[in-house]
Structure 1
Amino acid sequence: MIADCALYSDGRRRHRLDDLRVALREAEKDDGFVWIGLVEPTADEFAAIAEGFELPQLAIDDAIRAHQRPKLERYGNVTFAVVKPVHYVDHVEVVEVSELAVFLGDRFVIVVRHGDTEIPAQVRAALEVDRDMLLHGPPAVLHAILDKSVDQYLDVSRAIDVDLDEIEDQVFGDDPGSDHAKRIYKLKREVQQFRRAVVPLVQPLTRLAEDDVPWIPAYARPYFRDVQDHALRAAEQIEAADALLTNVMQADLAQVTVEQNRVTVQQNADMRKISAWAAIALVPTAIAGLYGMNFDQLPAMHSPAGFWVVLAGIGVVCVALHRAFRRNHWL
């Protein structure tokens, strides 16, 4: 459950803490803060931490259950934030979404991870070598997590744009009649999931960038404003990608419909040709069938020129039918 738990003071990592009951006491004594990383804890596993740090029950429930919208809430002296990092699996065109629940107090940071993301470990490693940032305490940790997550949003947006360009080339390329609806719909569904991770985070970032969160020092607000700007850019790119996918899907469906109509018209033309040739072939077949019967009273049956007369008659009728079908564009 506990990925890491350490005491930080004077911009440095002091030592790992195995006894959470003394964590806050040491943080207050050393004028530092405790940073705890948890991975998908159960309610029972989280109970001791919740009691020791006096965490609000509503936030605890959200952190344990996960599947929350990105948000920022204040419970007395504790701030609770939910962030959804994302990762794009390009070869299957899937947006994988994880979740981080972050509790912040004056002397502690608790990060609860759900899903597969390296952001908590990356942020911890980066801050442990950046003493100037680590001196700012819990706000610096929250900023680093948000900044790293939003950078991932921009990376995923760029990867989706590459796939969008590929889809456009396929739809409007050399084989416009092919049906690409399945791939377009799948990517559109992933973009919708991506939007649910990004767009709700803009409002909490706006609060952090302005004067709405009292525990954020004034000098830190420009840093959060920079993250907010990047998040807005990612949100705009998502909206543009979604609109483009809608247009491409409509164009693809229109092209498929046109192609189906073309095939139908061609099939009708082929059926007319087949019917015309069948009608022409029916004439000699019918006459040959009549003269092949065992009757003596057929016209020109016993005449020396009878065969040629019948053959000429067949030819005249066939030519007449052929000209009639040609005049009506059946042949």
Structure 2
Amino acid sequence: MPGYHALIASPVMTGRRWDLGASRAVGRVFARRAPGDPPPIDLVASGTLDGALVDWAFYREGRRDTKISSYVEALTRARKGQGFVWIGLFQPNERQLAIIGQEFGLHALAVEDATEAHQRPKLERYDDTLFAVLKTVRYVPHGDLTATSEVVESGEVMVFCGPGFVVTVRHGEHSELTGLRQALEQEPARLATGPGAVLHAIADHVVDRYLEVADAVQADIDVIESEMFTPRGWRSIDRVYQLKREVLELKRAVAPLTGPMRALSTLRHPLIADETRNYFRDVDDHLLRVKEQVISFDELLSSILQAGLAQVQVAENEDMRRIAAYVAILAVPTMIAGIYGMNFDDMPELRLKYAYFVVLGVMAAACTVLYRLFKRNHWL
């Protein structure tokens, strides 16, 4: 379909319709504002973004222009191609996102996704605007891993990149980008390449966190694995299952992102410079590595889980053999005592002086022989 290109979209959108002409027109609102149009609303000074705005800045030639303190002036300069505006939002409501979408000409479908959150990682292209969804993860420190321990927390970062602007929308307490913005401002050469550099920095930041979380989860798996193959280690099987669920949470963040990263590393787009594309290839390489690591986690935990279940069966079999052995040993004196307990008049040995001690000796000897036999065959 001309005018709209979905590079990587997971899940694939079906059953939705939109006006293609309106999409094209909306995509050019920010870059081509007519002279007679009303001036933009100062969303910062008016308090429209209160509670959601984390930070905003105007960047010219890769540096934060501190002389521009007016949001309206920043937008005006960005529309003239003198730099770009980067606005960071944290869990904005539907009304705030709708205003931002109208201001920057964002597609209604992308705004809807950013509002609803809980999206899978994806990359979509609406004319000259890119919309990326990345899942963030955080390792939750804990003492002893239990059947209810939370190991991995996930959030989301959504990035709108267009000519002259970057809008980041965060969902989740641990998806902060303040440190990233400050670090990126120390590299004006990268920021000078435009909004594509911000998208790369965010993607690189998210994937680096994947690597850190994967290393921490690896330590938990090593502990579980060592405990599982100890006597009665199968008692930790519920902890293995819980850790497998947490690894699945990490897998849902990592695996679907490989398609978008591969697309960004090969995409020919005005917002992504050739040098930035090279950086995306490096991010893609790191992502593939952590994806393979997470997949191996899942497979290893499945093997540990199967080993635990096998240990349960072995332990049950050993208990049953032990019980059967003792039953067999006790069956001999029980049988002898049962026979002599019938008290018939003509039973032999009833009148002998030492018959009682002889029968007890026979019982003890039989039990000893059976015990040694079962012990040699490792039933006891």
After TM superposition, is the score higher than 0.5?
Answer: yes
Say whether the 8 Å CA contact 1:84–1:197 is kept in structure 2.
yes
- Alignment partners' CA distance in 2, 1:226 and 1:327: 72
Q: Which one-letter code corresponds to 1:201 in the other structure? A: L
- Alignment partners' CA distance in 1, 2:187 and 2:270: 25
Larger Rg: 1 or 2?
1
**Equivalent residue number for residue 351 of structure 2:** 309
| Residues 17 and 310 of structure 1: CA distance in aligned 2, closer, same or farther (over 3 Å) | farther
Q: TM-score, normalised by structure 1?
A: 0.86
Structure 1, unaligned stretches of length 5 or more? 291-297, 300-306
| Residues 240 and 213 of structure 1: CA distance in aligned 2, closer, same or farther (over 3 Å) | farther
State how 1:178-189 maps to structure 2 within 5 Å.
178-189=234-245
Q: 258, 266, 278: which one pairs with 1:210?
A: 266
TM-superposed CA distance for 1:21, in Å, is 5.0
| Residues 73 and 218 of structure 1: CA distance in aligned 2, closer, same or farther (over 3 Å) | same
**Equivalent residue number for residue 312 of structure 2:** 256
**Equivalent residue number for residue 34 of structure 1:** 85
TM-superposed CA distance for 1:224, in Å, is 0.4
The answer to whether residue 119 in structure 2 is matched with residue 68 in structure 1 is yes
Q: Deviations 1:207-250 (Å, cap 9, x if unpaired)? A: 11114545322222110000000000000001111111111111
Aligned to 1:309, the other structure's residue is in SS state: coil
**Equivalent residue number for residue 24 of structure 1:** 75
TM-superposed CA distance for 1:138, in Å, is 0.7
Q: Which one-letter code corresponds to 2:209 in the other structure? A: Q
TM-superposed CA distance for 1:102, in Å, is 0.5
Give the number of equivalent residue pairs. Answer: 314
Q: Which one-letter code corresponds to 1:50 in the other structure? A: G
The answer to whether residue 219 in structure 2 is matched with residue 162 in structure 1 is yes
**Equivalent residue number for residue 137 of structure 2:** 86
- Alignment partners' CA distance in 2, 1:46 and 1:93: 31
Say whether the 8 Å CA contact 1:283–1:318 is kept in structure 2.
no
- Alignment partners' CA distance in 2, 1:39 and 1:222: 30
- Alignment partners' CA distance in 2, 1:17 and 1:250: 62
**Equivalent residue number for residue 56 of structure 1:** 107
State the identity %: 41
Q: Deviations 1:47-66 (Å, cap 9, x if unpaired)? A: 22111111100000100110
**Equivalent residue number for residue 254 of structure 2:** 198
Say whether the 8 Å CA contact 2:136–2:157 is kept in structure 1.
yes
TM-superposed CA distance for 1:30, in Å, is 6.9
**Equivalent residue number for residue 172 of structure 1:** 229
Q: 133, 152, 156: which one pairs with 1:99?
A: 156
TM-superposed CA distance for 1:85, in Å, is 1.2
Q: TM-score, normalised by structure 2?
A: 0.75
Q: Deviations 1:239-288 (Å, cap 9, x if unpaired)? A: 1111111111111111121011101111122223334344445567666x
Q: Which one-letter code corresponds to 1:121 in the other structure? A: T
**Equivalent residue number for residue 96 of structure 2:** 45
Say whether the 8 Å CA contact 1:88–1:94 is kept in structure 2.
yes
Aligned to 2:351, the other structure's residue is in SS state: helix
**Equivalent residue number for residue 147 of structure 1:** 204
**Equivalent residue number for residue 294 of structure 1:** none
- Alignment partners' CA distance in 1, 2:362 and 2:179: 86
Structure 2, unaligned stretches of length 5 or more? 1-51, 143-148, 375-380
TM-superposed CA distance for 1:116, in Å, is 1.6
- Alignment partners' CA distance in 1, 2:162 and 2:91: 21
- Alignment partners' CA distance in 1, 2:263 and 2:269: 6
